[in-house]
Amino acid sequence: MTYSSIYIVFCMMIRTFHSKLNRKTLVFCLLPATVLAVYFFWVKLPLPALCCMVFMVFVVERLIHTFYVFADDGCLYIHQGRFSKVKKIPLAEISEAVVIRPSSLAFLKGRDTVMLTLSDGSLRFITPFPAGEFCKYFNRRKSEHAENE
């Protein structure tokens, strides 16, 4: 998908849901990478430090620029940062959207996750904010799209 076609798709968007910073990502990815980068600079190893810093840039960029768009054409567009492709999922292919609350490591619970069940049986986990409103809007759009067909 080229930049102009992405621009056209997002110009006709109806509703956008963004993603919030996840504490698990912060604790398990960004904190160790920061500590390692500082350590590598301290012991005068610039290449491993640079690798850690590039990793942090990619992770932060993906965290900041993740959003989910419901468009007029009856599709859900998942945009996960500038360095990844836009994923297009037609609403007709999504059979169910359910809010799940992870129970492992309860002290790190940061947000709810939405589980999308596709018509081929595959699962896709996304983290829109607020998750409950995302599911309500999805169900409303799916019923409107079914009525129009």
**Residue 109 scores a pLDDT above 60:** no
Distance CA 37, CA 10 (A): 37
Q: Check which CATH number belongs to the domain holding 76 and give it.
A: 2.30.29.30
Q: Which region holds residue 74: left if phi is over 0, alpha if psi is between -120 and 50, else beta?
A: left
Query: Which pLDDT band holds residue 8 (cuts at 50, 70, 90)?
Result: very low
In the chain, the number of structural domains is 1
Give the predicted TM-score (pTM) of the model. Answer: 0.72
**pLDDT single digits (tens) 128-148:** 888 888 888 888 888 877 777
Helix (H, G, I), strand (E, B) or coil at 141: helix
Spatial CB neighbours of 50, under 8 Å, sequence gap ≥ 6: none
With beta carbons less than 8 A apart as the criterion, state whether 18 and 69 touch. Answer: no
**Residue 107 scores a pLDDT above 70:** no
Exposure on the CB side of residue 70, measured as CA atoms within 13 A: 19
Residue 146, pLDDT score: 72
Distance CA 57, CA 32 (A): 14
Q: 64: domain range? A: 3-148
Written as six digits, the tokens of 90 are 């037609």
With beta carbons less than 8 A apart as the criterion, state whether 14 and 123 touch. Answer: no
**pLDDT single digits (tens) 65-94:** 888 988 888 888 988 888 888 899 988 888
Q: What are phi and psi of 31, to 5 degrees?
A: -65, -50
Helix (H, G, I), strand (E, B) or coil at 44: coil
**Residue 13 scores a pLDDT above 80:** no
